[in-house]
Amino acid sequence: MDRRAFLKLSNDRQQPSQSIPAASPASSAPAARVGGGINPYAGPWGSEQVTHLLKRTMFGATRADINYFKGLSMDAAVDLLVNAAYVAPAPPVNNYGTDVTNIASGATWVHSSQPPTGDAGDSLNDLRNKSWKAWWFGLMVNQGRSLNEKMTLFWHNHFVTETMTVKDGRLAWLTNDTLRRNALGNFKTLTREITLDPGMLVYLNGYLNSKEAADENYARELQELFTVGKGPDSHYTEDDVRAAARVLTGYRVNFDTCTTYFQTTEHDSDNKQFSDFYSAKIISGQTGPSGQNELDALLEIIFAQVECAKFICRKLYRFFVYYIIDDAAEKNVIAPLATLFINSNYEIKPVLSALFKSEHFFDPGNMSCLIKSPIDFVVGMCREFNIQFPNASDYTNLYSAWDVLRDQAATMLQDIGSPPLVAGWAAYYQEPQYHEIWINNDTLPKRNKLSDTLSISKFNGLFIDALAFAAQQSDPGNAAQLITDSLEVLFRMPVSDDTKTFLASTYLLGGQTDPNYWTNAWTAYTSNPGDAMAKKIVNDKLTALYKGLMDLSEYQLS
């Protein structure tokens, strides 16, 4: 597999026209791209496997994380990532100054009263949406050793809402909170909570759905994008969409309290007939507050379909493993994971645990084969190089620093909080390009420009400290070992000994063959850090090394 070829710029990698996908579970790929199924992995457990696991389940892999997980078994490493206790983060704060709802600077605005209508309210919501997006970026940068942040992004791309449509920053943050609280919980529970989420009710018009004029928007996406999908074995009908819409009539949003309530007079209390795909089930219409029970009946009908479990497992596979699901992967990975999903009553953790412990996940063909998303690229770079941000007490500048990097990812096609369509970002579904969509003649130069700027100067006060990064490695005074250690953190593709020798000679030894040249330079600096000339010599060489590595195609792969 020529992974570098993924990154060659060509016209066919320009951003495609974006349309809601009619996803298929398999492609025209060979019957078995790689081997293995979900049998437990029993191969080597070293730096290569550890870094692969961390870069797929977290954003980047720090030197400290790599060293820590090397000390665990594979089972223990996956268990820690999947089962880490969830700790709710403190909510975003007013970092924008004057607030017409009287929220003081530094205080959280998520429980404020409803912003006024008109320009003042629109302006405030724009500021709040920037606030929580920056806050979310900061949570990703500062994530613990847990899968939760990666799964929050996964669900955001699955249960899409967009700030420009929802508008109210309080509701947008609340949806994000719903996703992160349930990120590793139960998929049924998450689907139910999202169905009643005030932001989702606004985004897909659910709060306007009434018995006199049933709105089919959410009912359609619930089936097409959120549960059973549009694969060849998913045969729900337009009548099913209409029936589901009638089930969901009557839900309203209290914008003062940011809560959902059920308006009984707007609920369609007649019976709802479903198609043979749903075993011709009938949901008996109910009146009064009991009408809310119909939602649970609807979800039971949907989740009884095997295709629901398969659809989610395919999306997890494409997000964490590879975008092509060939016949072998469908049979040996997707089908058994879906069975496990159903048997565990749609608990998410057992499925992810089985996937990340599988021989298939650790197959060499599944390593360094995904192009990093913009968020993976930007957040991963911040974490790998331990870029220093302002202190938490300086929340104005801290949020500004988070936001400026979040905006950089947005210019590279991934604006968290604002996916382009209800289907999410095209790179996760658009055949045949999938992840190749992230790289084009516009976005790759932007990636290189950002990493170059952070390396050689400062970007809004932020920079890569090459000296500090090198000092984290096992033997920074040894040129060969420093190259090996640095590549272990930054690259996912194997690098030959000849290439390592070339890198050491070119960047650290100044073209010389005597490795003591670098050792002496590093020793001169560490022995007297106040010597400006000694510091400049090693800093310039390290800066050129890390800038050069990040400019290579390999750095774009995960």
432 cis-preceded (ω within 30 degrees of 0): yes
Residues 157 and 19 in one domain: yes
Pairing of strands 272-273, 259-262: unpaired
Judged against a pLDDT cut of 90, whether residue 354 lies above it is answered with yes
Long-range (24+ apart) CB contacts under 8 A made by 265-273 are: 266/209, 266/210, 266/211, 267/211, 267/291, 268/211, 268/214, 269/211, 270/246, 272/243, 272/244, 272/246, 272/247, 273/239, 273/243
Q: Would residue 102 count as lying in a domain?
A: yes
Query: For the chain, what percent of residues have pLDDT higher than 70?
Result: 94
| SS3 assignment, position 147 | coil
Q: Is residue 246 part of a domain?
A: no
What's the pLDDT at 305?
Answer: 97
What integer pLDDT is reported at residue 23 of this predicted model?
45
Question: Do 337 and 209 reside in the same domain of the chain?
Answer: yes
Co-location of 136 and 32 in the same domain: yes
User: What is the reported pTM?
Assistant: 0.94
pLDDT of the residue at 393: 96
Burial of 48 (0-12, 13-18, 19+ CB in 10 A): middle
Clarify whether residues 149 and 183 are in a common domain. yes
CB 553 within 8 A of CB 4: yes
The bridge status of strand 282-283 relative to strand 259-262 is: unpaired
What would the pLDDT profile of 174-205 be if each residue is shown by its tens digit? 999 999 999 999 999 999 999 999 999 999 99
Q: Is residue 290 part of a domain?
A: no
Read off the pLDDT band of 25 (50, 70, 90): very low
pLDDT score for 535: 97
If one counts the domains in the chain, the total is 2
Helices (H), 11-62: 47-57
Domain assignment present for residue 331? The answer is yes
Per DSSP, the residues of 335-375 read HHHHHHHHHTTTBHHHHHHHHHTBTTTT-GGGSS-SBPPHH
Q: Considering the domain boundaries, does residue 53 fall inside one?
A: yes
**514 and 401 in a common domain:** no
Regarding whether 485 and 390 lie in a shared domain, the answer is no
123 has a pLDDT exceeding 70: yes
Q: DSSP string of 424-488?
A: --GGGT-TTTGGGGG-STTHHHHHHHHHHHHHHS-BTTB---HHHHHHTSS-TTSHHHHHHHHHH
Domain that holds residue 398: 1-214+222-233+305-368+386-443
Q: What is the pLDDT of residue 413?
A: 97
Residues 191 and 322 in one domain: yes
Same domain for 65 and 194?
yes
Q: How many residues does the chain have?
A: 558
On the CB side of 110, how many CA atoms lie within 13 Å of its CA?
18
Give the model's pLDDT for residue 14.
39
Which of 443, 476, 509 delimits the end of a domain?
443
Note whether residue 518 is domain-resident. yes
What does the pLDDT look like over 255-287, one tens digit per residue? 999 999 999 999 999 999 999 999 999 999 999
- The answer to whether residue 207 is domain-embedded is yes
Find tokens 């996937």 and name the residue. Answer: 355
Same structural domain, 100 and 207? yes
Residue type, 310: K
Q: Which residue has the higher pLDDT, 35 or 379?
A: 379
| pLDDT single digits (tens) 32-90 | 788 899 999 999 999 999 999 999 999 999 999 999 999 999 999 999 999 999 999 99
Write down the pLDDT at residue 31. 64
CA distance 79 to 135: 27
Do 157 and 227 belong together in one domain? yes
Are 351 and 429 members of one domain? yes
Residue 11, pLDDT above cutoff 50? no
Is the predicted pLDDT of residue 22 greater than 70, yes or no? no
In a domain, 67, yes or no: yes
Q: Residue 224 corresponds to which tokens in the numbers above?
A: 């097409």
Do 541 and 503 contact (CB within 8 A), yes or no? no
* Same-domain status, 189 and 329: yes
